Structure 1
Amino acid sequence: MIQRITLIAASVALGCLATLVPVFTSLYVANKDVQRRDRLELSEFADKAVMRTDLVTYQAIAALSDLDREPGAPCSPSNLEQAARVIYNYRYVQDAGTYADGHYLCSPLLGDVRNQDLTLPPPDYRSNDGYLVWFEQKSPLSDVRKDIQMGRDGHYVSIDPGSYVDLIDPARRPIAVVQITTGRLLAISAGADPDDMLNAWKHSGNVKSDEWNYAVAHSSTRPLGVVVMSPRSSVAGDWPKLLAAWLTIGVFAGAALGWLAYKRVSRQLSFPATLHWAISRRKIDVVFQPIVRLADNQCAGAEALVRWTLNGRAISPEVFVRVAEDNHLIQPLTDLVLEKTIAQLGKLLTANPSFYVSINVSGEDLQSFRFLNLLTASLNGTGIAPAQIRIEATERSFMNAEATRGFIAAFRAAGHPIYIDDFGTGYSSLSYLQTFEVDVLKIDKSFVDTIVQDTASSVVAPHIISMAHELGLQIVAEGVESGAQVTWLRDKGVQYGQGWYYAKAMSAGDLAKWLGKHRMPREANSMPAM
């Protein structure tokens, strides 16, 4: 009792833990989620910024190409008209004109300045495809303004650096544009720190900061890149939506996990513990159902079955046997069945050498000599022949052929016939029947139910019977409930039947009385014994 209370207390504690952990975890996850969203959003913004950089640069290159199409002499009316058209057509181009030998010659804004000696210094950068770039070129029209100027083949265009960073952004996140080859800033948002932005660029945005997130992006067409930055968010800053959302998720998840944990722990610990208690204190009962020879209605043997009554309520064997299998209790349960079978039917078996009892074993006991050694020791000195204790195993026990073949052969070598129980419901195939040496197939009740009916599954039983005959195996039909079934089975060459038509499972004492009344032959169409 104390053990069960301890287990229940453990399940409650685990349920509480499962309830609280998601709530506290949600705070951590919410903070991580905010950071992830920030990085993703900033990365997307960097991609947009580099698209602007590509667009401005493309317009400058396209404008130079348009200037080169005018075949007229430099500074001719047609040449200046073409330059004016370029300025009008390209929104980021502020001026366009002609230069030669380090001097401005003319533009629509400057006019013809060939006689004014307006010098143009050497370019800051020369690209491999022939473009010249002046990063901070002071305009002859202004004492303070410095443009980015690009030239080729004697033509130039001027671009306001602000065009590169002039994005519509309600958050007003700082942007910097970097010329990758030289590592020089081309443009930067007002108020941003150039050294800070260059440092972030050099470290690919991986800068440790409690206040800012950084992201970088590269142009796919030109040697240009951008750096963007934004303030780091916090859970508290997004309290109305993110924190509330994650806490709500945490509370619901915690409640659900707590309930599931309690149910699972109470089911997986309390019930198995009770079953272990019942097995160790021999509270599991063993009953026996007769197996009748169809040819003469003589009882040839019986199957040992387990029953368990807990607090006045019968627990289904399908439930507690599966729990025993899942919790390493199946071997102690099988040992108890063997012990009670020999104790309760020992005298009957020794007095009737042709009578037998079949015992169900698990797949675990077909993968070692443990149960065979126990069985041999238990029969020693009892006068019970090995053939009177027969071994039943379900089809799934035969799945691992390499692990079970030798042990099945050992059981048969020791004199214990092997039955395949519930045949047809698991992994039935000629391949494993030919691989293993077995003695009897037991047709599952679900197929016996349909043998005198016109249903789709009614063809299964005849196939199983034909298969068994071809392999020289005997057959036991389970779940026989009518005389018509008995007649059909007998006509098909089935040797044995088991089911309520003959008798329900009963105690050893009731079986002895039943055998005293039903050992004489009787017709298959007589009333079932109850």
Structure 2
Amino acid sequence: MSLIAAYIALGCAATVLPVLVSVYVANEHVARREQADLRAYAAKAVIRTDLVTYQARAAIAELRAEHAEPCSPEYLQRAARVIFNHLYVRDAGAIGDGRYLCSPLFGDVRTQDVVLPPPRWRSSDGYQVWFKQKNPLSDVREDIQVARDGEYVSIDPQSFVDIIDPAGRPIATINTDLNLIIALSAGADAEDMLNAWKRAGRIDSSEWNYAVAHSSTRSLGVVVKGRRTSLLRDWPGLLTMWLSMGVALGAALGWLAFKLISRQVSFQASLEWAISRKAIDVVYQPIVSLATNECVGVEALARWTLNGREISPDIFVALAEQHGLIQSLTDLVLDKALDDLTELLRSQPSFYVSVNVSGDDLCTPRFLNLVTAKLAGIGIRAAQIRIEATERSFLNADVTRQTIAAFRSAGHPIYIDDFGTGYSSLAYLHTFMIDVLKIDKSFVDTIGQDAASSIVAPHIIDMAHELGVEIVAEGIERTEQVEYLVGRGVQYGQGWLFAKPMRREELVAWLEARRASHAPAQPAIQ
């Protein structure tokens, strides 16, 4: 009986312990993933605070652009136009000597002595801010009011926290100088959120995760929280369930895990083989000057066909990054691009090809040394090889900044690809010296549409102009998008309106046809 009991106990332990360990590991993984997702949500919320603040200041600048007499009909008409043109602005007008003077909302009140209290906060660059400022026409509505040099605008506080989030996670916007909540989402607890902010999100709670983020350009921050998922809360139930299911289920799961791992290993091995045998194809998508319709360069893109089926770059590039193959893949793209385009690049010194690099190649000078060695003596200028990296490649700022500077010093322009999709703050545009910013297709698609994200592209364009960097709009498919982008001063574009990605022979024929006809590019046949 003791021996039988020992075997039963051993069998139960062999069945249950791996499962409990797996559940514990899974629980830790879920916790890390939830925290990472919450930090990404906080970073997204910081972008919203930057955009709302930027719009308030832009509205004041527009109000001051023409020097009409304050409170004159012309002034009030311009103020009404400012309110109409800016999504988050509720009111705009003139103030002075601690009083409201006029606005389109409540007219000329200079003779009515409508008192304005002292501002709650002043920024280092001269802006005055009132929080929870009641409008003279209402005892209920409270706005955030921003003023400078006698002009003011009123902003709805909910603009700072009005972010589309299916999970409905609470969010608060904070003035970091005052440690003061200036906007709070519906259902959020102000005391709880402020406490989480003061403790940098380090709250010991079994129910909630917290995350904070700071604006890189303003005295603003956000704190968000999301419900914590725990797989161990009902551990007795889990134990009973797995004891009852026993070895049979463990064997089934083991077989499934074996199949999944075998498939993954096989896929990884196929990609490694394809890279080593140079079986990855490279195609080229033209980049066009929107003003002149001239093709100024191309972007080199990797393509992989496995067993007659095209594998999405999103899949095999991610796999290459996970298994240490991404640098070999980038080297292969560079080699094939130089093999294909050397003659074209020599004949047209202003023409260029851009190559996408990973975060690994921004951490060391390895790829720069490789490019320099391959360009030596072949008659191609450094500026004809351009470097593209996504937002997340710049996350390790201290490590990558030196490499980015080295690329630019060697003459290779730097592009930020798919800008706006990483929910990162706008700090990249301030801390890195870059040459070109590429607006992601998801934002270009919203041009001319009534979508929540349609306001992002105009603000990205405005900030790029202010910083003096050029812009490439990705995924252009309609002529009205081109008209809008040209009107906003965007220099370059790429997309199916001009051409799909092409192999070298197709690209050369396409360029020769354009050169011979001198005709505008036609939409690609889909």
Counterpart in 2 of 1:478?
474
Q: 259, 265, 272: which is aligned to 2:256?
A: 259
Q: How does 1:371-450 map to 2 (within 5 A)?
A: 371-450=367-446
In structure 2, C-alpha distance between the alignment counterparts of 1:410 and 1:503, rounded to whole Å: 33
Q: Residue deviations 1:73-129, cap 9 Å, x none?
A: xxxxxxxxxxxxxxxxxxxxxxxxxxxxxxxxxxxxxxxxxxxxxxxxxxxxxxxxx
Q: Kindly state the Cα deviation for residue 452 of structure 1 after the two structures are TM-superposed.
A: 1.5
For 1:414, the aligned partner's letter is: A
1:245–1:371 Cα change, 3 Å = closer
Partner secondary structure for residue 430 of structure 1: coil
Cα 1:389–1:260 shift into 2, 3 Å: same
Question: In the alignment, which residue of structure 2 is the partner of 1:28?
Answer: 13
Alignment of 1:203-218 (within 5 A): none
Kindly report the root-mean-square deviation, in angstroms, between the aligned alpha carbons of the 2 structures.
2.4
**Equivalents in 1 of 2:367, 2:263: separation in Å?**
29
- Partners of 1:31 and 1:419 in 2: how far apart? 52
Which amino acid in the other structure matches residue 261 of structure 1? Answer: F
For 1:491 and 1:337, the matched residues in 2 are separated by 35
The code of the aligned residue for 2:393 comes to: S
Contact 2:12 2:246 in 1 (8 A): no
- 1:244/1:334 Cα in 2 relative to 1: closer, same or farther (>3 Å)? closer
Q: Deviations over 1:229-288 (max 9, x none)?
A: xxxxxxxxxxxxx9997363232133123312321x123311111100000001000000
User: Is the contact between residue 16 and residue 243 of structure 2 (CA under 8 Å) also seen in structure 1?
Assistant: no
Q: Find out whether 1:268 has 2:264 as its counterpart.
A: yes
| Identity over aligned pairs, percent | 60
CA distance in 1, matches of 2:402, 2:385: 19
> 1:23, CA displacement in angstroms?
10
Q: What displacement does 1:457 show?
A: 1.1
5+ long unaligned stretches in structure 2: 1-6, 18-238
Task: Return closer, same or farther for 1:378/1:256 CA change in 2, 3 Å cut-off.
Answer: same
Q: Give the alignment's TM-score, normalised by structure 2.
A: 0.54
Task: Tell whether the 8 Å contact from 1:276 to 1:329 is kept in structure 2 after alignment.
Answer: yes
Find the counterpart in structure 2 of residue 199 from structure 1.
none
346, 353, 356: which one aligns with 2:352? 356
1:355 maps to a residue whose letter is F
Indicate which of 336, 345, 350 corresponds to 2:332.
Answer: 336
CA shift for structure 1 position 401? 0.3
Q: 1:339 to 1:457 in 2, by over 3 A?
A: same
Match of 1:514 among 463, 486, 510: 510
What letter is aligned with 2:474? Answer: E
> Are the aligned partners of 1:478 and 1:497 in contact in 2 as well (CA < 8 Å)?
yes
SS in 1 for 2:490: coil
- Contact 2:15 2:247 survives alignment (8 Å): no
Alignment of 1:103-118 (within 5 A): none
**1:421-473 residue CA offsets vs partner (Å, 9 max, x unmatched):** 00000144332211000000000000100111121111111011011111111
Matched, 1:463 2:459: yes
5 Å-filtered alignment, 1:38-437, equals 246=243, 248-263=245-260, 265-437=261-433
Name the CA shift for 1:25/1:473 in 2 (closer, same or farther; >3 Å).
farther
Contact residue 355 and residue 388 of structure 1 kept, 8 A: yes
1:224 maps to none
SS in 1 for 2:427: helix
Measure, in 2, the Cα distance between the counterparts of 1:319 and 1:490.
34
The 3 A distance-change label for structure 1 pair 392 and 31 is: closer
Task: Output the CA distance in 1 between the equivalents of 2:417 and 2:403.
Answer: 17
Contact 2:278 2:332 in 1 (8 A): yes
Question: How far is the alpha carbon of 1:529 from its aligned partner?
Answer: 4.2
Q: 1:274 to 1:24 in 2, by over 3 A?
A: farther
Count of residue correspondences: 297
- What is the CA–CA distance in structure 1 between the aligned matches of 2:9 and 2:337, rounded to whole Å? 56
Structure 1 residue 522: Cα displacement: 4.7
Residue 289 of structure 1 deviates from its aligned partner by: 0.4
Confirm or deny: 8 A CA contact 2:439 2:472 kept in the other structure.
yes
TM-score (ref. length: structure 1): 0.53
Any idea what SS the aligned residue of 1:364 has?
Answer: helix
Q: Is the 8 A contact 2:440 2:475 kept in 1?
A: yes
CA distance, structure 2, for counterparts of residue 410 and residue 339 of structure 1: 21
